[in-house]
Every structure is written in structure tokens, then in C-alpha cells.
């Protein structure tokens, strides 16, 4: 069961403006990364379903967050079918994100009032997702489908749209400012926030600093 309500989840994403996107098969590494982000001000964290037994790591991470990072909202990413969405919601996922839009996933998430943020690559897909009850839609891969200009132009006729962008997001002032000015609700940032060498060396403080700086750029751009 989700610890946070749908409104709490969406508000946290909107207020902070950034959702880290991370996967590792090692639970201890995942815990350290999550805590590093939490210390940097992050309050919504996406763990992706990208490896065998990822659900076991996620279950451990959810329990860890509840004790050590009580304000952290943990959700699951890379979900493409309703059965997998249901599995992760049973483990405590507070939100569900996917690389594509599947109306059947929307149904199981809506039943439990868990936010579903599907990946959309066109205005029509965003519209269909909104019809299915998806409050926050993910433009993905954002850097390939038009970048900030796509978001800006899409929101002109659909200003009510809440948009998260993933793919093509970097922890730099120039990049984050461009996305914020285009009208995004929040950004999803993966590998650029978690350099492989930093994770391998266990330099968690660097991730904390990158998180702090990224959130500061977003706040400044707003």
C-alpha cells in the first residue's frame, strides 16, 4: 500500500521540480543513493524496474525509506504492463512511471488512486493519457521528440497539462533553466545525476551536492 496520497505525490513532484531516476541490483547501493538524494532535498524518487529481481530491491528500499527518509516518496519506473504495476503497488509504490502509455496500467493505478505517469512522444498521446486519468504525463525521450520547444508549443493549446520530462535532462543551469522555462512541472534525471564512477567509488556526498545544485537551478529558473 502507498504511504502517500495521490495529491501528496503530485505536490511533492511539482514543488521540488525533480525526480531522480535510478536502478541498481545492489540494495545497499540503492539505499545510499536514495539517502544521498534525500539529504540533497529530493522528496520523490523513482526506482526503475530494469533487472531480474528488481522487485526485491524495491521492497527493501521502500522499507528503508520509511524509516530513514520518512518524507521521501518512492515510486517505480519502466512499467509497461498492468500486472507489473500491481506487483509494485502491493510492495508500496507511491507512483508508477512508464516509457509508454498503456491504458490498462492507468486502470489498475486509478483503482488505488496511485499516480500513473506514462511516457508520451506526441500531443495526441498526452491527450489520450489525460483522458485515462493521468494527471502528470512524461514526455519521453524528451531530448529526441523536440526538447523544451516541444513542451512550450504543446502547452500553448493545452495549458492545463502537467508535464515531466525524462531523457535529455542534465544537472546544469542552462539545461534545467530551458526545461523550466518551457513549462514543465518537473524533470526526471537519471545517469547524469549518478555518474558511474561516483557510484562505483561510493562518493555519496557528490550525489547529494549534485541534487542540491540541480534543485537550486530549478528554483532559480522559476
Each residue's pLDDT tens digit, 25-75: 999 999 999 999 999 999 999 999 999 999 999 999 999 999 999 999 999
Write out the DSSP string of the chain.
Answer: --SS-HHHHHHHHHHH-EEEEE--S-HHHHHHHHHHHHHTT--EEEEE--STTHHHHHHHHHHHHHHH-TT-EEEEE---SHHHHHHHHHTT-S-EE-SS--HHHHHHHHHTT--EE-EE-SHHHHHHHHHTT-SEEEETTTTTTTHHHHHHHHHTT-TT-EEEEESS--SSHHHHHHHHHHT-SEEEE-TTTS-HHHHHHT-HHHHHHHHHHHHHHHHHH-
Question: Residue 89 in contact with residue 114, Cβ under 8 Å?
Answer: yes
Segment 8-22, tens digit of pLDDT? 999 999 999 999 999
Query: What percent of the chain shows pLDDT beyond 90?
Result: 100
pTM attached to this predicted model: 0.97
Percent with pLDDT over 70 in the chain: 100
Give 91-101 pLDDT, tens digit per residue: 999 999 999 99
Strand order across the 136-139 sheet: 116-117, 96-97, 73-77, 44-48, 18-22, 186-189, 162-166, 136-139, 119-120
6-215: CATH topology: TIM Barrel (3.20.20)
pLDDT of residue 171: 96
pLDDT band at 119 (very low <50, low <70, confident <90, very high): very high
Q: Average of pLDDT values for 135-143?
A: 96
Specify the pLDDT at position 61.
Answer: 98
C-alpha cell at 106: 492507468
Summary mean pLDDT of the chain:
97
Q: Where are the domains of the chain?
A: 6-215
The arithmetic mean of pLDDT across residues 154-181, rounded, is 97
Q: What gap in Å lies between CA 80 and CA 100, rounded to an integer?
A: 7
Cell of 123: 500531443
* CA 27 to each of CA 53, 63, 131, 176, 177: distance values in angstroms, whole numbers, following the listed order: 11, 11, 37, 30, 33
Overall average pLDDT of the 108-131 stretch: 98
Predicted local distance difference test score (pLDDT) of residue 217: 98
What's residue 34's pLDDT? Answer: 98
- pLDDT-derived band of residue 206, with 50, 70 and 90 as boundaries? very high
Amino acid at each position: 500500500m502507498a504511504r502517500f496520497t495521490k495529491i501528496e505525490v503530485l505536490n511533492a513532484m511539482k514543488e521540488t521540480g525533480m525526480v531522480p531516476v535510478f536502478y541498481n541490483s545492489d540494495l545497499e547501493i540503492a539505499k545510499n543513493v536514495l539517502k544521498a538524494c534525500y539529504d540533497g532535498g529530493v522528496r520523490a524518487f523513482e526506482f526503475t524496474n530494469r533487472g531480474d529481481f528488481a522487485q526485491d530491491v524495491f521492497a527493501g528500499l521502500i522499507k528503508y525509506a520509511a524509516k530513514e527518509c520518512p518524507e521521501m516518496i518512492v515510486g517505480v519506473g519502466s512499467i509497461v504492463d498492468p500486472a507489473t504495476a500491481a506487483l509494485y503497488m502491493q510492495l508500496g509504490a507511491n507512483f508508477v512511471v512508464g516509457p509508454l502509455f498503456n491504458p490498462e496500467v492507468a486502470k489498475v493505478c486509478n483503482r488505488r488512486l496511485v499516480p500513473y505517469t506514462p511516457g508520451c512522444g506526441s500531443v495526441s498521446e498526452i491527450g489520450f493519457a489525460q483522458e485515462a486519468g493521468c494527471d502528470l504525463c512524461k514526455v519521453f525521450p524528451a531530448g529526441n521528440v523536440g526538447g523544451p520547444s516541444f513542451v512550450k508549443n504543446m502547452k500553448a493549446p493545452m495549458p492545463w497539462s502537467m508535464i515531466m520530462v525524462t531523457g535529455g535532462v542534465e544537472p546544469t543551469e542552462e539545461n534545467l533553466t530551458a526545461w523550466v522555462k518551457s513549462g514543465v512541472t518537473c524533470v526526471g534525471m537519471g545517469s547524469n545525476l549518478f555518474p558511474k564512477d561516483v557510484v562505483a567509488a561510493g562518493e555519496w556526498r557528490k550525489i547529494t551536492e549534485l541534487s542540491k545544485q540541480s534543485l537550486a537551478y530549478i528554483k532559480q529558473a522559476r
